[in-house]
Amino acid sequence: MFTLVWTPEATSAYDRLKAKALASLASRRKKERAKSSQDEGLFKQVHKTITLLASNPKHPGLQTHEYRLLPHPYEPAEKVFEAYAQNQTPTAYRVFWCYGPGRRQITIVAITPHP
């Protein structure tokens, strides 16, 4: 297991997705609808991706690979990785992460739609 460290940008994006999902859930329950919304589904997928990262960053479902356009927040020479939260979806969400700053730590750098 890895301990997660969050950048302010990643925290903000995660909190925004969570707030939209909770608002959508409350609205759905008020209207007595059974089917979950896109906002709820998106948050569930992002949350699952982050959970998998914490347990096994090399999990095949994450399709993790190096991403060269973001700088590493601690060591410029080190790699930043991209993990898939969604696939084959317009503006599919990705979680950008790196190892560090300490041993057995992963930093969530950003959560964004695919650039």
Q: State pLDDT tens for residues 2-29.
A: 999 999 999 999 999 999 999 998 988 8
CATH code of domain 3-113: 3.30.2310.20
CA distances from 6 to 54, 77, 78, 96 (A): 12, 20, 17, 11
**pLDDT at res. 50:** 97
pLDDT digits (tens, 9 = 90+) for 79-104: 999 999 998 888 899 999 999 999 99
Evaluate if residue 54 carries a pLDDT over 70: yes
pTM (two decimals): 0.91
Task: Give residue limits of the domains in the chain.
Answer: 3-113
**pLDDT at res. 82:** 96
Cα 102 from Cα 46, distance rounded (Å): 24
**pLDDT at res. 34:** 81
**pLDDT at res. 8:** 97
